[in-house]
């Protein structure tokens, strides 16, 4: 994982954090990279990485499936990325014993919601193939790591040559817990004690779905043109 910092000067915004990651990841520019973002906050982090590596940028979305009477109790998760996949906590599902067919119906509902969100973000463009590629999954930080965990589990099924997780900041215990799910984790700082992701950004405003769609469109168009414009046109979205 390389050297990390226990203390951290706050990043200006997510875009600047992504630029810091891009400097470290530049060595993978010739390794057939694909950059995937966990929306919403991971998209402005992933954008400068994709730019630096001249790599396609896509999104992978995960959503927890909560128990019928306790949404905070996770029974599984659905992932919509290159393929639609899901994971199940079988022991917990059997213990709670929801009504017959409930899990399958909830799974299908959540997948349908995520597919609709993908259409909003990406139109009708198919997901980027990951087979044999160096896949870099980016987010704006690791707090609980739940979304990153299920995303990494799903992405491993796509047969990438190398699977990496890249974040500007994260909780050490979470980074350590995810090590076995990725070939490499790049985490630039693991402050102790960890105070929550937003504490390490000067500007950490929430992004809307429209913001995410705009950033992804910007990434596609600049890459299609064979050049990368200065990031100011989307700076307001990266904050």
Q: What is the pLDDT of residues 109-141, one digit of tens each?
A: 999 999 999 999 999 888 899 999 999 999 999
State yes or no: pLDDT of 208 exceeds 90.
yes
Compute the distance between CA of residue 150 and CA of residue 137 in angstroms, rounded to an integer.
12
Looking at per-residue pLDDT, the higher value among 228 and 89 belongs to 89
**Cα Rg of the chain, angstroms:** 18
3-state DSSP call for residue 49? helix
Answer yes or no: are the C-beta atoms of 84 and 115 closer than 8 Å: yes
What is the pLDDT averaged over residues 141-156?
91
Nearest to 107 by CA among 81, 83, 84: 84
What is the pLDDT averaged over residues 64-88?
82
3-state DSSP call for residue 116? helix
Q: What is the tens place of the pLDDT at every residue in 21-69?
A: 999 999 999 999 999 999 999 999 999 999 999 999 999 988 888 888 8
Token pair listed for 210: 């429209």
State yes or no: pLDDT of 107 exceeds 50.
yes
Looking at per-residue pLDDT, the higher value among 93 and 135 belongs to 135
Mean of the per-residue pLDDT values of the chain: 88
Compute the distance between CA of residue 54 and CA of residue 188 in angstroms, rounded to an integer.
22
Q: Give the pLDDT score at 92.
A: 87
Tally of CA atoms within 13 A in the half-sphere of 239 that contains its CB: 7
In terms of average pLDDT, the best of 89-93, 158-162, 227-231 is 158-162
Strand order in the sheet with 84-88: 61-67, 70-80, 84-88
What is the pLDDT averaged over residues 79-104?
86
Compute the distance between CA of residue 198 and CA of residue 215 in angstroms, rounded to an integer.
20
State yes or no: pLDDT of 231 exceeds 80.
no
Token pair listed for 147: 């979304």
What is the residue extent of each domain of the chain? 14-61+124-238, 65-113
Q: Under CATH, what is the fold of the domain 14-61+124-238?
A: Rossmann fold (3.40.50)
Q: Give the pLDDT score at 70.
A: 81
DSSP sequence for 123-177: TTPPPPP-TTSEEEEE-S-BSS-HHHHHHHHHHHTT--SEEEEEEEEB-HHHHHH
Crossing angle for the helix pair 14-25 and 42-53, to the nearest 10 degrees:
40
């Amino acid at each position: 994982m390389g050297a990390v910092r226990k203390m951290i000067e706050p990043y200006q915004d997510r875009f600047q954090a992504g630029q810091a990651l891009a400097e470290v990841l530049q060595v993978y520019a010739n390794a057939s990279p694909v950059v995937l973002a966990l929306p919403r906050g991971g998209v402005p982090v992933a954008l400068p990485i994709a730019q630096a590596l001249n790599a396609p940028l896509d999104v992978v979305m995960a959503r927890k499936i909560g128990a019928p009477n306790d949404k905070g109790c996770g029974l599984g998760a659905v992932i919509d990325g290159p393929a639609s996949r899901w994971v199940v906590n079988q022991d917990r599902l059997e213990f709670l014993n929801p009504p017959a067919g409930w899990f399958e119906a909830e799974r299908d509902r959540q997948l349908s919601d995520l597919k609709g969100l993908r259409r909003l973000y990406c139109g009708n463009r198919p997901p980027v193939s990951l087979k044999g590629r160096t896949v870099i999954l980016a987010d704006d930080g690791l707090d609980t790591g739940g979304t990153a965990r299920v995303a990494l589990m799903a992405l491993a099924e796509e047969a990438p040559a190398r699977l990496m997780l890249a974040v500007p900041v994260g909780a050490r215990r979470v980074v350590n817990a995810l090590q076995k799910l990725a070939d490499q984790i790049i985490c630039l700082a693991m402050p102790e004690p960890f105070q929550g992701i937003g504490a390490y950004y000067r500007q950490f405003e929430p992004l809307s779905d429209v913001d995410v769609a705009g950033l992804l469109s910007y990434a596609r168009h600049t890459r299609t043109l064979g050049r990368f414009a200065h990031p100011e046109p989307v700076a307001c979205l990266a904050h």
